[in-house]
Structure 1
Amino acid sequence: MAVSDRGQQVSSDVQPPVGIDELLERVRAGYERVEPQQAYEAAQAGDALLVDIRYAALRERDGLIPGALVVERNELEWRLDPQGSHRLPEATSHALRVVVICNEGYASSLAVQSLRQLGLHRATDLVGGFQAWRGAGLPVV
């Protein structure tokens, strides 16, 4: 048994807490993120499904990426799991290349980790999120 920083006994197999910055670094080390232009080109070529996980107020305020599938974060795993009973028609295979887009590129990284745990081994996210997409002058409606 180990002793916590509060003097309580804890099991030695419990991992010490990790801050969000370190967690993001660890998660992102496991896959290659994409830049806005790369995501745009992959979507145009039919090689990637863009998935916008921003909440409604941000979509209403800032607009939408044409052709992106809107799936709010709390439904993402259920909608994209190819084996799931609540999957979307677009969730055809574990080999599907999904590019997750949040507002600034943080929440999307954690979402990618979850999708990869479901077997979507080509899931990635957009560096800088929607704001980087718009900042790059890519289409928004």
Structure 2
Amino acid sequence: MQPRSAAGYAGDVSPHLAWDWVQAGEAVLVDVRTDAEREWVGFVPGAVPLAWKQWPGMVMNPGFDEGLRAAVPAGQKVVLLCRSGVRSIAAAKRATELGLVAYNILEGFEGDPDADAHRGRRGGWRLHGLPWRQN
């Protein structure tokens, strides 16, 4: 379970490695999905909710930089989670520009769509049995 190298940020990590780092106090987990996604699909208890883009319209969150700086103490890594591991790459690149050691969590919260275009059956935080809740 080693990070994979990536261009523009520290690397990509498996959901399990990200969770190990969070439990060990080595990283802060930031969920960059929209508020609506976290509310309707589920969330990781203890993760920092900080949308990269906001619903509706998927407009950039103007408070992202400030929220990220406030969430991640000096010297800690940040692991970023989105639905499928795409927005979290963009967020990891931005976090790196802000001077943070940032990792993208592979597969995201829901994983890739299956042959029927349904998520949650091909990878993802939930499928791996990691902690999550639903309202």
TM range (shorter): 0.7 to 0.9
- Give the unaligned 5+ runs of structure 2: 53-60, 111-123
Q: Match of 2:46? A: 67
Greater Cα radius of gyration, structure 1 or 2: 1
Question: TM-score normalized by structure 1?
Answer: 0.69
1:104 counterpart SS class: coil
Q: Match of 1:79? A: 67
- Give the unaligned 5+ runs of structure 1: 1-26, 82-87
CA RMSD of aligned residues (A): 1.6
Q: CA deviation at 1:138?
A: 0.8
Q: Deviations over 1:41-98 (max 9, x none)?
A: 11111111000011022111211101111112113212123xxxxxx2x3322x3200
Contact residue 81 and residue 88 of structure 2 kept, 8 A: yes
Matched, 1:92 2:73: yes
Contact residue 28 and residue 109 of structure 1 kept, 8 A: no
Q: Match of 1:5? A: none
State how far apart, in whole Å, the 1-side matches of 2:98 and 2:18 are. 22
Matched, 1:34 2:8: no
**Letter in structure 1 aligned against 2:105:** L
Give identity over the alignment, percent: 37
State how far apart, in whole Å, the 1-side matches of 2:95 and 2:103 are. 9
Contact residue 52 and residue 69 of structure 1 kept, 8 A: yes
Contact residue 42 and residue 132 of structure 2 kept, 8 A: yes
State how far apart, in whole Å, the 2-side matches of 1:107 and 1:70 are. 14
State how far apart, in whole Å, the 2-side matches of 1:40 and 1:53 are. 16
State how far apart, in whole Å, the 2-side matches of 1:118 and 1:102 are. 19
Q: Match of 1:24? A: none
Q: Match of 1:119? A: 99
Q: CA deviation at 1:139?
A: 1.0
Matched, 1:109 2:89: yes
Q: Match of 2:27? A: 48
Q: Match of 2:120? A: none
Q: Aligned pairs, how many?
A: 106
Name the structure where helix makes up a greater proportion of residues.
1
